[in-house]
Amino acid sequence: MLMPKKKLLREKSVKAIKKNTPKKIKAEKIKEAPLLLQTLRGMKDVLPQDQPYWEQVRRVSERLARDYGFLRLDVPIMEYANLFVRNIGEGTDIVEKEMYTFITRGGDKVALRPELTAGNCRSYIQHGMHTLSKPVKLFSTGPVYRYERPQDGRYREHHQVNFDAFGEQDPILDAQIIQVAYRLVQLLGIKSVQIQVNSIGCPVCRKNYRDLLVSYLESKKSKLCQDCKRRLTINPLRVLDCKEDKCSQIASIAPQSVDHLCDDCRSHFKILLEYLDELELPYSINPHLVRGLDYYTKTVFEVWSGEEAGKQGALFGGGRYDRLIKSMGGEDTPAIGFGMGVERIIVEMKRVQAKAYKPPRPRIFLAQLGILAKRKSLKLFTELEKNGILMAESFGRGSLKSQLKIANRLGAEITLILGQKEALDGTVIIKNMATGAQETVDMEKLVDIIKKKLKTDNVVIYHNGECDHS
């Protein structure tokens, strides 16, 4: 028997109310909660006074990418969660403890990216980049998210800079990537660094080494920390990377991967070291360096800061991941790269007193008095800006005296004064801030006069969004 139309509509309406009520109640509870005017734990504002360091990192890394032939790639901060679970490794701290995962309203299990490499590889496969000439060099940067204990230079939201090269297994690419990493820290003003390198072999030779390592670690199992006891069955190489003192002591006399490489991996590592010698890079072999992610093969490396009161620390690192693209469903594609944490590197820049980015100083200040002058000054400012003249102003400030004080504080050489009379006459007063001399000029001729006064070669010009002195 068919249900009457009105009753059917009423029942549908009741179901809709029941379905939506929990969400509405939840939203109301969130709305009623106290408003905390602070960032979440592990999140941080980048304030104006810190921006010069961030700008320095951006400029240096982007210029280095351009000089070494790396193309910019930006991928979403959110991906399907299994992209990271399958490729970073279930036994890693990132997947087990640190990923931000959740179910979307559409039912997809997604994650905020905990690193950049997996997403870059997904993009490489999805967009058919294997057809590009090899090696395919990609540069990427952006925020990543890990739910870990916040500490100096490491936050739950932090930012990375990645350099990756796909499609070439020659160790010369390993050497160039390490060279780029070294140049990056040097250009950022961090001079005292050391590169630590190791080879963890390929799946063929690593199996025998893994068995040997497990046998050794089993004999010391009672002395391992709880995490390493668990790693012993999931990812025993991670035991070598443990920071617990008792585990570090056990790892220090463990079998070394470089002693158990197959002929191909041994040859690859030997040639890499010869390249590093040729480049005269400050490196040392660290036989216990393994890195924390499952996808690494053969070469792994880290860039370490110089000594400070007897302590050293790793700034960032990377290595080869020759099997990753294939394991994700792409063609067999060797690859190598590194990721640098921006917050961590800025902490080191401040520690060694490296220079931050210093923006060009405006040499012209625009002062205005009166309503009509304010209207005219906006257009005048735009006209000078279009002609590549960097200026400063303090729109909204009333008195000429207060504006001239600001001009002096900024170190402006010339102040342009536009008052009610000048706005009506179509003129501007040019005041030399050093001598106090003033002259009145036609507004139509102002751009040419200013360029001559600044001797043109010192005028700040903008090229493709970047400013420099032409």
Mean pLDDT of the chain: 86
Does the bond joining 135 to the residue before it have cis omega, within 30 degrees of 0? yes
Over range 226-253, report the average pLDDT: 83
Confidence of residue 13 (pLDDT cuts 50, 70, 90): very low
Over range 209-222, report the average pLDDT: 86
Confidence of residue 20 (pLDDT cuts 50, 70, 90): low
Q: What's the token pair of residue 334?
A: 């060797």
Summarize pLDDT for 372-396 with one digit per residue, the tens. 998 899 999 999 999 989 999 988 7
| 127 neighbors 95 (Cβ within 8 angstroms) | no
Q: Is the pLDDT of residue 3 over 70?
A: no
Phi, psi (rounded to 5 degrees) for 382:
-65, -40
Q: Is the pLDDT of residue 349 over 80?
A: yes
257 vs 271: CA distance, rounded Å = 17
Sign of the alpha-carbon torsion through 296, 301, 305, 307: positive
Angle of helix 171-187 relative to helix 263-279, nearest 10 degrees, comes to 40
380 vs 398: CA distance, rounded Å = 18
What is the pairing mode between strands 136-145 and 157-166? antiparallel
Place of tokens 């279930």: 90
pTM greater than 0.85: no
pLDDT at 26: 63
Burial of 201 (0-12, 13-18, 19+ CB in 10 A): buried
Q: Is the pLDDT of residue 299 over 90?
A: yes
Q: What's the token pair of residue 387?
A: 């002609």
232 vs 11: CA distance, rounded Å = 57
| 392 neighbors 365 (Cβ within 8 angstroms) | yes
| 173 neighbors 70 (Cβ within 8 angstroms) | no
Helical segments of 320-456, H only: 324-327, 342-351, 371-386, 400-410, 420-425, 446-453
Over range 298-317, report the average pLDDT: 79
pLDDT at 35: 82
| 368 neighbors 418 (Cβ within 8 angstroms) | yes
pLDDT at 25: 57
Over range 405-410, report the average pLDDT: 92
Which string of DSSP letters, residue by residue, matches 137-197?
Answer: EEEEEEEEE--S--BTTB-SEEEEEEEEEES---HHHHHHHHHHHHHHHHHTT---EEEEE
Summarize pLDDT for 143-188 with one digit per residue, the tens. 999 988 887 777 899 999 999 999 999 999 999 999 999 999 999 9
Domains in the chain, start-ordered, CATH in brackets? 48-202+262-351 (3.30.930.10), 364-469 (3.40.50.800)
pLDDT at 1: 45
Confidence of residue 231 (pLDDT cuts 50, 70, 90): confident
Encoded amino acid at 215, one letter: S
Candidate from 319-328, 346-355, 419-428, 456-465 with smallest mean pLDDT: 456-465
Q: Is the pLDDT of residue 77 over 90?
A: yes
Residue 72 forms beta bridges with which residues?
139
| 364 neighbors 381 (Cβ within 8 angstroms) | no
CA 421 to chain centre: 51
Q: Is the pLDDT of residue 203 over 90?
A: no
Q: Radius of gyration over alpha carbons of the chain, in Å?
A: 30
Q: What's the token pair of residue 126?
A: 């999805």
206 vs 200: CA distance, rounded Å = 7
Q: What's the token pair of residue 33?
A: 């909660």
